[in-house]
């Protein structure tokens, strides 16, 4: 019994000596790895602040800038961790860690495919200079003012004050028309006049009214006017002119003002804007061979 205890004690002492020797041998590497981790941590904090300042100049959304700066800091810390593991000759642990992170990332990516797509799309939209908050845009069948771009969705306020929330992924995958990128818009005005009207007078008067109504139109020659067709009850025309506007609301107001002023001028000049009239004609007249007999039968019934 004493021999067994002595042998066990000897084995324990041998193990402890081996561990101690290993610790002494790897102590410089351990200290160096700890220094690398601490350095990576402090560098990550500095990189976080620096990245946030840079991103804030390009992106107005606080959530987007914070997320990008945090991701950058995490990348720096992970780089320091991998370097520290390499210094300690833990290559197998490093390989296992990378493999596990890859599998976990794949599983999370598949589970959150839609959410990640919207998040990445939100980051991309935040860096696009051609899409900014306050712009008037048209996309996915909706038109309105951009009031918010966040990590999940794209928010519009339509002309009727309704709020439309669109997933960021749909914004990137579909065409988007931004009315605010230019300072000018073209107004299209279609109308028709009576067949008895003097067409040259109609063209001249319409151009003069548009030039007089809008300061942006320097002269009547800047107004485009085209007769388009012989309609059922009128000769139709198309009138086009440019105005200084950055939203559809301004364009609609300009079109409304143009219609009002043109109607006043037409009324004053005696130019008629006709409306469709339907004439019903009965060629077969109702006849009664014996109206007296018919009246007697109707009275008896």
| Phi, psi angle pair for 144, to nearest 5° | 175, -175
Quick: pLDDT tens for 131-140. 888 888 888 8
pLDDT at residue 5, as a whole number = 65
- Whether residue 154 is predicted with pLDDT greater than 90 in this model: the reply is no
Rounded alpha-carbon distances, angstroms, from residue 182 to 91, 109, 142:
58, 39, 20
Which letter does DSSP use for residue 99 in this model? H
- Whether residue 141 is predicted with pLDDT greater than 80 in this model: the reply is yes
Poorest-pLDDT segment among 96-105, 154-163, 212-221, 253-262: 96-105
pLDDT at residue 203, as a whole number = 93
Mean pLDDT, to the nearest integer, of 21-38? Answer: 70
Nearest to 179 by CA among 222, 243, 125, 256: 243
Which letter does DSSP use for residue 221 in this model? G
- Whether residue 240 is predicted with pLDDT greater than 90 in this model: the reply is yes
Quick: pLDDT tens for 190-199. 999 999 899 9
| Greater pLDDT, 300 or 67 | 67
In percent, the amount of the chain with pLDDT more than 70 equals 70
pLDDT at residue 294, as a whole number = 47
Poorest-pLDDT segment among 94-98, 111-115, 276-280: 111-115
Residue 155 token pair: 């928010």
Residue 224 token pair: 């485009």
- Whether residue 252 is predicted with pLDDT greater than 60 in this model: the reply is yes
- Whether residue 111 is predicted with pLDDT greater than 70 in this model: the reply is no
| Greater pLDDT, 57 or 284 | 57
Mean pLDDT of the chain: 78
Quick: pLDDT tens for 170-189. 888 888 888 877 778 889 99
pLDDT at residue 191, as a whole number = 92
Q: How confident is the model at residue 51 (pLDDT cuts 50, 70, 90)?
A: confident
CA end-to-end distance (rounded Å), the chain: 136
All structural domains of the chain, each given as residue ranges with its CATH number in brackets, are 2-111 (1.10.287), 128-179 (2.30.30.60), 182-269 (3.30.70.100)
Nearest to 273 by CA among 190, 192, 188: 192
Rounded alpha-carbon distances, angstroms, from residue 101 to 31, 77, 93, 104, 117:
26, 15, 12, 5, 20
Nearest to 255 by CA among 214, 216, 286, 295: 214
């Amino acid at each position: 019994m004493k021999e067994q205890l002595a042998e066990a004690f000897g084995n324990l002492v041998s193990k402890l000596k081996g561990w101690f020797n290993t610790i002494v041998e790897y102590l410089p590497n351990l200290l160096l790895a700890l220094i690398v981790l601490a350095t990576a941590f402090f560098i990550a904090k500095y990189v976080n602040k620096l990245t946030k300042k840079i991103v804030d100049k390009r992106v107005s959304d606080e959530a987007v800038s914070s997320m990008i700066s945090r991701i950058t800091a995490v990348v720096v810390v992970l780089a320091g961790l991998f370097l520290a593991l390499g210094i300690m000759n833990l290559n197998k642990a490093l390989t296992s860690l990378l493999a596990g992170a890859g599998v976990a990332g794949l599983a999370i990516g598949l589970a959150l495919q839609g959410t990640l797509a919207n998040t990445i799309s939100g980051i991309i939209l935040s860096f696009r200079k051609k899409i900014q908050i306050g712009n008037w845009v048209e996309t996915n069948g909706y038109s309105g003012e951009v009031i918010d771009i966040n990590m999940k969705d794209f928010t519009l306020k339509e002309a009727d004050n309704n709020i439309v929330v669109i997933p960021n992924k749909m914004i990137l995958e579909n065409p988007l028309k931004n009315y605010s990128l230019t300072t000018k818009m073209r107004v299209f005005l279609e109308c028709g006049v009576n067949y008895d009207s003097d067409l040259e007078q109609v063209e001249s008067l319409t151009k003069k009214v548009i030039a007089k109504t809008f300061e942006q139109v320097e002269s009547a020659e800047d107004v485009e006017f085209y007769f388009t067709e012989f309609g059922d009850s009128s000769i139709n025309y198309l009138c086009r002119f440019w105005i200084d506007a950055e939203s559809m609301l301004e364009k609609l107001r300009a079109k409304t003002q143009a219609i009002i002023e043109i109607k006043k001028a037409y009324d004053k000049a005696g130019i008629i804007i006709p409306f469709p009239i339907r004439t019903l004609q009965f060629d077969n007249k109702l006849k009664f061979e014996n109206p007296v007999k018919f009246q007697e039968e109707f009275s008896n019934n």
